[in-house]
Amino acid sequence: MTDQTVILQRRKLLRILTVGATLVPLSGLFLRNPALAQQEKVNEDDPLAKSLNYAHDATKVTSKQRKADQFCNNCQLLQGDEGAWRPCVAFANKLVNENGWCSAYVSNV
């Protein structure tokens, strides 16, 4: 092997290692699964929950704030298919009650 070949192979190896070292931490962003997120329920006294007027029971929210058919279980931000408590995008995938409501509500329709 010539010196030029060794230099090119070394550069190629360094390039591969650099790209690999960059992609490993970034892969966590793309492979994040809400089901694997910390499964804790949203506390109604949490500052974010208060700012979004979140309630575990939507019937306790005044009719001026929400329409009668608005519940977490028909909001686009709710994740998962089954269960009374499911992850919500608005609360960083913390669990919300499917019968709850908040002002971040986005209709499925």
What one-character-per-residue DSSP string does the chain give? --HHHHHHHHHHHHHHHHHHHHHHHHHHHHS--GGGS---BPPTTSHHHHHTT-BSSGGGS-TTTS-TT--GGGBTTB-SSS-SEEEEGGGTTEEEETT-B-TT--B--
Query: Based on the domain organization, do 18 and 47 belong to the same domain?
Result: no
* Residues 101, 79 share a domain: yes
Whether residues 73 and 109 fall in one domain = yes
Same domain membership, residue 22 and residue 68: no
pLDDT of residue 75: 95
Q: Residue 17 and residue 8: Cα distance in Å, rounded?
A: 14
Q: Are residues 82 and 108 in the same domain?
A: yes
Q: What is the pLDDT of residue 51?
A: 94
What are the structure tokens assigned to 21, written together? 């070292």
Enclosing domain of residue 93: 33-109
Residue 21 and residue 65 in one domain:
no
pLDDT tens digits along 14-40? 777 676 666 666 555 545 555 544 589
Question: In the prediction, which pLDDT does 101 show?
Answer: 96
Check residue 84 and report its DSSP letter. S
Q: What is the pLDDT of residues 33-77, one digit of tens each?
A: 555 445 899 999 999 999 999 999 999 998 888 999 999 999 999
Answer yes or no: do 39 and 86 share one domain: yes
